[in-house]
Each structure stands twice: as structure tokens, then as C-alpha cells.
Amino acid sequence: MDHRKFNEFIRIAQSLNDRGIIPLLMGSVGLEVVTGKSWDAEDLDIHVPGDEGGWEVPPETSIHNWNEIVKIMNSMDYTLIDLHEHEFSKDGLSVEFGIIDTLPDFAGVRLENLEMHRKGEVKYYLLNPEQYLRVYEASSKDSYRADQNNHKDIGKIEYLKNVRNN
């Protein structure tokens, strides 16, 4: 597991918590926390409340409290490098924000079923293995994501199916 990326997520989550936002740790770093297995995470994927319309909504208004999130990230020396992807960068680490509210339509993951976790005083959500499987299966049908990730999600899907079947 990449502790550096997870610890950075906790730092960001603390600042989000201070503003009443409980983030969901997604992507490979979240999957590493859940499985205890390294997935060679390249970035941090953090989902926060936003418009259910997702990509249909202008990027500057699709995430609730976006201006506040930009201030948080700037105060932590991150630079916004892609508004459409809600992507920030610092010292070679990319942090992308997504919209937690799109999960029900995208992958059938109900928000009320998300599990809250704590590290010290910091609160955050993680998907369970079954929810990760749903997300990665839905993502594998997205041609943009498949092209961007060179089909790396297939290994994750197979692993999660094996976990489910054992």
C-alpha cells in the first residue's frame, strides 16, 4: 500500500472535514486500503458532494463548495491544472475530485450504504469490495477510461470477483 498517498489523502480529508465535507476515497489508493494489496496507484481520487448530472454540468459548478475546495488545495500548495477533470498537482502527485452523487446512476452504489471510516479525528468513506467491483465494472464499459487506463481495471475486476467468490 502507498502510505504516502494515503497520508496525503488524510491531510486533505482533514481540511475537508473542517468545512463539513466527508470525502470518499476512490481509485487505486482506496482499493489498496480495502484489500491491503498494492495497485500501483498513480494519483488520488477523491469524491465529494456535487450535482448528480456529473459531466453534464459545467465543471466550475458541478462540485458543491468548489471554490472552498480550490482554496483548501491552494493553501496546501496544490495547483489546479485541469478544471474539467477537477485535477490538482503538487510535487508530482495528482489529486482529482469527482462527484460522489453520481455513484448510484453510474454503478448502482447507494450513498446510504457507504461505510464511514476514521483515522484519528478524520472521517472519510470507503467502498467495500462489492461496491468497488460495481464501480470498476461500470468504468470498464467507459471507452474513455478504458483508453486512459490501458485496461488496468481488468485485473482489479478479476481480483474483486475472486474475493467475492471465496
Structural domains of the chain ordered from first start: 3-127 (3.30.460.40)
> In tens digits, what is the pLDDT along the chain, a chain of 166 residues?
668 999 999 999 999 999 999 999 999 999 999 999 999 999 999 999 998 887 788 888 899 999 999 999 999 999 999 999 999 999 999 999 999 999 999 999 999 999 999 999 999 999 999 999 999 999 887 655 555 555 678 889 998 998 887 7
How far CA 35 is from CA of 39, 75, 87, 107, 161, in Å, comes to 10, 32, 26, 20, 13
- Residue 52: predicted pLDDT: 85
Query: What's the predicted TM-score (pTM) here?
Result: 0.91
- Residue 165: predicted pLDDT: 76
Tell me the per-residue pLDDT of 44-59, one tens digit each, with 9 for 90 and over: 999 999 988 877 888 8
Tracing cell 484489500 back to the chain, one arrives at: 35
CA distance linking residue 93 with residue 166, whole number of Å = 35
* Start-to-end CA span in the chain (Å): 22
Nearest residue to 50 (alpha-carbon basis) of 113, 96, 108: 96
Q: Which distant-in-sequence residues (6+ apart) come within 8 Å of 65 by Cβ?
A: 19, 21, 48, 49
- Residue 59: predicted pLDDT: 85
